[in-house]
Amino acid sequence: MIRIGLIREFKVPTDNRVAFIPAQCKWIHQQFPDVRITVQSSPDRCYADREYISAGIEVRENVDDCDILFGIKEVQEERLIPDKTYCFFSHTKKKQDYNRNLFKTILKNKITLIDYECMEHEDGQRILGFGFFAGVVGAHNGIMAYGDRTGSFSLKRVYKQKSFHELIHTYFGLKLPPVKIAVTGSGRVAHGILEIMNLLEVIEVEPTDYLSRKYSYPVFTQLKGADLYKPLSGEKYSRESFHADPSKYKCLFYPYTKVTDILMNGIYWDEQVPRLFENEHMQEADFKIQTISDITDDKQGSIPCNLGDTPIEAPIYGVNKMTLRKTEPYMDGSIDIMAVGNLPNELPRDASRYFGEQLLKHIFADLVTAGSPVIERATMIKAGIITGPFKYLEEYGGVL
């Protein structure tokens, strides 16, 4: 018998998503008779304890007897159970300093860590993530912020809606002004943004037309890798080459700063990737962007004026274009920034259901049986030992 535990989320701000919803747990019991799921009681989870109990799933406080523990965000160091297998987003792959002690504690306690972020198909495409709903909520919040700045329209808050379906109903009758919206990226986040663009009837145009033409209706353009980056050598863009060494590329976004009203940023970023623009560009008289929804949310990353996270309840702050200091939102001479780090938490039931579906479709059977190359590649630590693909983290984990 394999015992699986769905653990409570303790990270602040509280995250109320879950890896499997009650109906999915019930399905697992039906399809995998040798698997039993225990849910750790939680007052904050988007699916209440009683919903799991109604589905025939055991709910209790102690899950120490479980073999595999599923969470969402990082587990607090003092709550880690030695010698267990954990699945969650550890946010350590990029040597994040704020999780270094967590990584060391996992090693010390001889834990096996399987990171959702590292679950990839053979071609490197990520299997799991909440990116689509991050894109949905981030796009909504960006449009909402622009409406609040200009006073031209008003949108309701996402987290006050019960579901994505209910959110869609808030768009009925809404007419946007003739804004230009730049969407960066091509992954799950971008797909979520495009969903909102379609629901709001924002028309897609080609990048060249976006740069050169004026429109009497709202438009957006999607900027993918080849639209955003060019090799310093002058050769053609290559996805493989860019991901191997993005420092050999320059960013092509600068002209879009002069014609864009709202920027929806959905690109992956690390320190080697050129920023979309630099702080000094904001001080130019023809810098037109008024609202930035930085959905991928790297502090001073691809968006240099991202000065840090905002909470769901107050998602927008301003940045003065001259002093580069944080201000209240919607002030003259400032740019409004939306930089919420847990956007899918505004639609937690929809996001959890989708995430669980992907887990069941691509991961779960292998995880509870013989394993698979996908799971091997996602295992950062095995019984307290850093695995081969992640040996570069040895110094980060205090091994060297």
CATH topology of domain 2-128+348-393: Rossmann fold (3.40.50)
pLDDT value at position 400?
Answer: 64
Q: Provide the CA 373 distance to its chain's centre, in angstroms.
A: 24
pLDDT value at position 201?
Answer: 97
- DSSP characters over 73-125: SPPPGGGPPTT-EEEE----TT--GGGHHHHHHHHHTT-EEEEGGG-B-TTS-
pLDDT value at position 375?
Answer: 95
pLDDT digits (tens, 9 = 90+) for 80-131: 999 999 999 999 998 999 999 999 999 999 999 999 999 998 888 889 999 9
Under-50 pLDDT residues of the chain: none
pLDDT digits (tens, 9 = 90+) for 257-267: 999 999 999 99
Domain boundaries, the chain: 2-128+348-393, 131-346
Is there a common fold for 2-128+348-393 and 131-346? yes
| 275-280 long-range contacts, CB within 8 A, separation 24+ | 275/251, 275/301, 275/302, 275/303, 275/304, 276/184, 276/228, 276/251, 276/302, 276/303, 277/251, 277/253, 277/304, 278/304, 279/304, 279/305, 279/324
How far apart CA 225 and CA 240 sit, in angstroms, is: 11
In the chain, the DSSP E strands lie at 2-6, 35-40, 58-60, 68-70, 85-88, 112-115, 180-184, 203-204, 219-223, 229-231, 249-251, 262-265, 291-294, 316-320, 326-327, 334-338, 379-382, 385-386
How far apart CA 87 and CA 89 sit, in angstroms, is: 7
How far apart CA 188 and CA 131 sit, in angstroms, is: 5
- CB within 8 A of 264, min separation 6: which ones? 138, 139, 142, 181, 182, 183, 184, 193, 220, 293, 295
249-251 vs 229-231, strand pairing mode: antiparallel
How far apart CA 64 and CA 81 sit, in angstroms, is: 7
pLDDT value at position 313?
Answer: 94
Three-state DSSP state, 60: strand
Q: Which two tokens stand for residue 286?
A: 């023809």
CATH superfamily to which 131-346 belongs? NAD(P)-binding Rossmann-like Domain (3.40.50.720)
Integer angstrom CA distances of residue 103 from 23, 99, 376, 379, 383: 33, 6, 18, 13, 13
